[in-house]
Each structure stands twice: as C-alpha cells, then as structure tokens.
Chains A and B, each alone.
Chain A
Amino acid sequence: MRTAKLTPYAFVTPAMVLLIAFGVLPLIVALAVSFTDMDISGLANWSNVEFAGLDNYERLVADPDFWQAFGNTVFFAVIGVPTVVLVSLGVALLLARSEAPFYRALRSFYFIPAITGIVAISLVWGYLYNTQFGLFNWLLSLVGVPPVQWLSDPLLAKFSVAFVAIWRGTGLNIIIFLAALQGVPKEYTEAAALDGAGSWRTTRSIVIPLLRFAIFFVTVTTIIAWLQFFDEPFVLTDGGPLGATTSMSIFLYKEGFRLNQFGYASAGSVVLFVIIALVTMLQLRLRRPDVEY
C-alpha cells in the first residue's frame, strides 16, 4: 500500500502546523524581537525595525517598574503557592474521608470556582470588595471595624487579589489530589487500621508519603501558574494601585500592548521564560525518587 506511507503525515499535519505556528515559532520570534527596537511603526512596516543588541535587556535591568513587578510576583508566589497546595491537599484529604453521597455532592461546590471565567469572577469579587456598598465592609462593620480599602490600599490590594486567586486555584488541585488518593491501595490503610493506627496517623505516615508524586506535581504547576500570575490583578486592579499588584505578566502586557514596545516586552518575556524554566528544572533536580506502590 503506497498511500499508507503518506497517510500518517496527512493525519498529523493540520495539528502540527498549528502547534508549530503558535507553540514553537513564537518562542523563536520572541527571542529575535527582543534584540530589536520593534514598536508600532515596526508593526506597520518591517523596515522600521532595527537591531538593538542587548539594549532592551540593559533597559530592563535598570527599570524600577520591572523590579517592582518582579518583587510583586515573588511576593504573590510566596503567599499563594503554599496556601493553594496546603488548602487543596487538606480539603481533598477530608473529602476523601467518606464515599457517602453527601460527601460526593460537596465536592462539586469546591470545583465550581475552577471552571468559571475569570472576568465574571472578578466582577463578583469587585462587588464584594466594594468600599461603599460591598458585603465585606458591611460584615466588618457588624463587628465594629471601619470600612477597609480592599483594592485601593497598596498592601491590602496585594492580599485581596491573591485571595481571589487562591479561592479560584484550589478547585483544580483538589480534583488532582482526589484522583491521586484513589490510587492509594486500600490494603495499606486497612493494614494500618488493623495495627491500631488512628486516622491522623494513617494519613501522615501512609497516605501523604504515597501522594508524594501528586504533591510534587501540584507544587510545580502551582509555582508556574503563580509566576505567570495575570488574570486576577488584570481585571480586579489593572495592576494598581501604584503598581502594587503589577505582576511580571501584567508588566509585559502593558509594555507590549498598551505602550506597543514589542521589542522591550519580548525581552521581558524571555527573562520570565528563563526564570520559569530555571525554577522548574531546579525542582525536578531536587525531587527525590518516588515511593513505589
């Protein structure tokens, strides 16, 4: 069958063309553009683009806004990652405690934030956070606390924005942990129970060690997600007040699409990519071998 030789290529071509065009090519373009002074005039006519060497990178190092965005991103990751991992692991362990229909029904509630669109979520939270007629300030007033500037106080805004992301980020990880928990052999926990171990002891000594791969995976993807932190600050505060919630991704978006500094923003995105790649590789290195079961 001679046609069969070409058949597999016919099957993979549409997907691979798209994947290369929007997955691989952009990386190369980003790297190339980062060495140029590409801006809006360059977009209209390629001949306006000039080679700029390392100018963009030098500018980046000297840009206080970049360093503020960098610091904010680290701050968000330091708050967000441990909270998301611990809360989702804790909730998953509790949810896995029973197979009763009531427990199963409860799971859905925890998943909902993960599947709803960020813009809708931000509108709802923006309303809850509203200084004048928001629910949260009213709840505070019940216990005698004066109104709080949830989204316009530079320090508090960081926490308000991070809180929404934590609320939204746990659902997916709970699902992943629940799936992993199902892979824990029943015999192990039963054997522990027969030996007289209580449920806390069983969880700590049997279940959590067996979840090591899942915990590792969730930690890595959560760190990557928080290094890319974008949606929540973008729609809730637009990076404000005074850049207090501007993450690296928001910085890149603003430089690229508001100021049309494509070359400069590309240099920033190359830096972000290198940071994410380094952090991920470091974690893969540090990872200890799995417990086999």
Chain B
Amino acid sequence: MSSTDVRPTASPVPVPESDPASDAPIRRMPPAPPLRATRPGRRSGRRLTIAVGAALAVGALITAFPFVWMLFSSVKPQSESIDYPPKLLPQEPTFEYYVRLFTELDFGRYLVNTLIVVAIGAVGLLFMAMAGFAFAKYDFRGKGGLFFLVIATMMIPVQVTMIPTYLILNGFKLTNTLVGIALPTLVSGFGIFLFRQFMVTIPTEMLEAARIDGAGEIRTFLTIVLPMSKPILAVQAVLTFIAGWNSFLWPLIIASDQKLYTLSVGLALLNQQLAVNPSLQMAAASVMVVPILIVFIVFQRHVVQGFALSGLK
C-alpha cells in the first residue's frame, strides 16, 4: 500500500521509553504446563486446534499461491503460459526466458544497479547507527529538538515529499544518478529511533573504561558500540536490504535514463511492453522475488522482529 519502503510511518503516538530490542519481544515465554482436567472440553480443544490448523493451512496455501503460480509459469514455454485451460505444472520446462532476460534484455545491468542502491543503503545504516549512538550516550545542546525532528519525520507521507524531493535533487543535479535514487530513503527517523533505543542499554561504564584505556570516541564506537549492537544491526540490515531491493517509487522518478533502471523499474517496463509473453514476465518477477524469499528464509527471525518493532513499543 504505502510505498515500497518498509512502513516508515512508525508509531504516531509517543512511544514509551522502553527497550524493545534487547530482549527480543518475538521470543515466546516457555509454554505453560498443561492444565489438568479443568474442564471437560480439553479433548474438543485439541480437536479444534487441529481444525483451525487445517483452515490456516488452506489460507496459507491460498496466500502463497500467486508465488507458486509465478515460479511454475516462469519455466513454461510461452505457448503453454497462454494456453487455455491453464495447467499448473509446466509440461516441457524451459529456462529460456531467464536466459533472455539477461541476454536480450538488460536485466544484468538492472541487477547491478539494484545491488549498488542496496550497497549505498549500507552507508545510511552506518549514519543511523552513529546518530542513534549520539542520542543514546551524549548530552549536547539541541538534543531534544533534534530528536523531536527524528520522530516527526516518521509521520510525513512519501507522496507529499515526492515532488519537492525531486525538485531538491534536481537542484543538486542528482536526478538521473544512482546516488540520487538512494538518497531520499538513506536515513529514516524510525531507524535512528531504533538504534537509539537499543544503544541506551549499553552500559556507560564500558565506554568509560575504553576511554580511560585511551581509545578515542570513534574507536570506542567502532570497537565497543557497534559489536555490542549486533542484534539491532542485523534487524536493520535485513530491513534495509529488503526496502532497497524492492524500492520502486524513487528509481521510477529519479532515473530517466534506462542505464540507471533498477530491477523494479525494468520489471514495470516489461509490464507495459510485453503483455503477450507471461512466461518472460514471470521469469522476471521470479528474479526479483526469489532473492527476497531466500533472505527471508535465512533471516526470518530478524525480519519478523524488525516488523514487530515497527509496530509496538
């Protein structure tokens, strides 16, 4: 719904000072011991759990079905993919369309551009960690006002900033550059906020000890603070990757030269040009979706935790 970003519209109400990251809210308490025959419905309760499980499984399959359809269709020859009645499984599987994406079409370049945009996002991650650290562990003049600004920017919708941001980037001659594509979403108020919340919990004594040992502020940040912030870094890195990989609005607005298209813009172009070849389209969609699925499966805990943090105190 809202743009491709990972919901930057975080909490519209002041979030209480808690420490969301350190004790993973996702993790469950150990299950309570089963209650002994408190009521006669225990067995029917279990039967209900099985029935609900079956219903949820059907729902899960329906939810995931478009992706299954995409993967199967991507290896069907074109004649099969526009065949009527449609068949689920490909009769003569072929990887022809994946090859065509990278040989006849420019998807290799789009992929590289996307990876560059994602890599620039890593710089933003460092900036956010630095700012979060300063808000967590230093006292300085203007801190309150600046932190209010951080919170306030979380509530501004992207469609409002879309046109002025284009005008600003144009003023700096950054339209039609990969840096220009990455800049508007490089730093998010929500990201700074999360880092700050986590870094508040780092014991100040550890930082003092490092300083007494003669470490400078930057060295303290790099060797003590960052390693201790690994959990929140992991969450944010995964979210930044997903947001950068999927981002659509900014590449669409900022890149007018086809050489600078990212995967999502290249894909949108395919949508308009080749409406008659679903196999090719599904292959392109798979190129975009499968890496995200792999990241999701490998880092599922971090992804879920990150999304959950975006929602609650």
Chain A residues with CB under 8 Å of chain B are 3-5, 7-9, 11-12, 14-16, 18-30, 33, 38, 43, 80, 91, 94-95, 97-100, 102-103, 106-128, 130, 132-135, 138, 141, 165, 167-169, 172-173, 175-176, 178-180, 182-183, 186, 190, 193-194, 196, 198-199, 213-214, 217-218, 220-222, 224-232, 235, 248-249, 252-253, 256-257, 262, 265-266, 269-270, 272-273, 276, 280, 284
CA distance A120 to B292 in the complex (A): 11
CA distance A175 to B245 in the complex (A): 21
- Which residues on the B side are within 8 Å of A7 (C-beta)? 134, 138, 217
Q: Find out whether the CB atom of A117 lies under 8 angstroms from the CB atom of B156.
A: no
- Which residues on the A side are within 8 Å of B67 (C-beta)? 112, 116, 124
| Cβ contacts A to B, 18 pairs, < 8 Å | A3-B217, A18-B186, A27-B161, A43-B167, A99-B28, A111-B307, A112-B67, A117-B4, A118-B264, A128-B69, A133-B82, A133-B84, A135-B69, A172-B307, A193-B38, A199-B48, A226-B1, A284-B13
Known pairs A198-B41, A225-B1; A91 contacts B56 (CB<8 A): yes
User: Which applies to chain B's interface (DSSP): helix, strand, loop or mixed?
Assistant: helix
Q: Find out whether the CB atom of A118 lies under 8 angstroms from the CB atom of B248.
A: yes
- Which residues on the B side are within 8 Å of A30 (C-beta)? 160-161, 163-164
Inter-chain contact total with CB atoms closer than 8 Å: 348
Known pairs A12-B134, A16-B131, A124-B70; A26 contacts B168 (CB<8 A): yes
Which residue of chain A is the closest to B88 with respect to CB atoms? Answer: A135
Beyond A179-B308, A199-B48, A276-B157, list 13 extra A-B contacts (CB 8 Å): A20-B149, A26-B165, A100-B49, A111-B304, A112-B63, A115-B242, A122-B271, A135-B86, A179-B25, A196-B38, A214-B311, A217-B312, A265-B163
- Which residues on the A side are within 8 Å of B210 (C-beta)? none
Q: Which of A110, A182, A227 contacts B60 (CB 8 A)?
A: A110
CA distance A199 to B46 in the complex (A): 12
Known pairs A118-B4, A190-B32, A225-B1; A214 contacts B312 (CB<8 A): yes
Q: Find out whether the CB atom of A256 lies under 8 angstroms from the CB atom of B163.
A: yes
* Residues 19-35 of B at the A interface (beta carbon under 8 Å): 25-26, 28-29, 31-32, 35
Q: Which of the listed residues A3, A125, A217, A248 has the most CB atoms from chain B within 10 Å of its own CB?
A: A217
CA distance A25 to B161 in the complex (A): 9
Which residue of chain A is the closest to B311 with respect to CB atoms? Answer: A176
Known pairs A15-B192, A16-B146; A123 contacts B284 (CB<8 A): yes
CA distance A167 to B166 in the complex (A): 31
CA distance A269 to B69 in the complex (A): 38
Q: Which of A99, A109, A182, A229 contacts B64 (CB 8 A)?
A: A109
- Which residues on the A side are within 8 Å of B12 (C-beta)? 217, 220-221, 224, 280, 284
Known pairs A18-B183, A109-B61; A98 contacts B53 (CB<8 A): yes
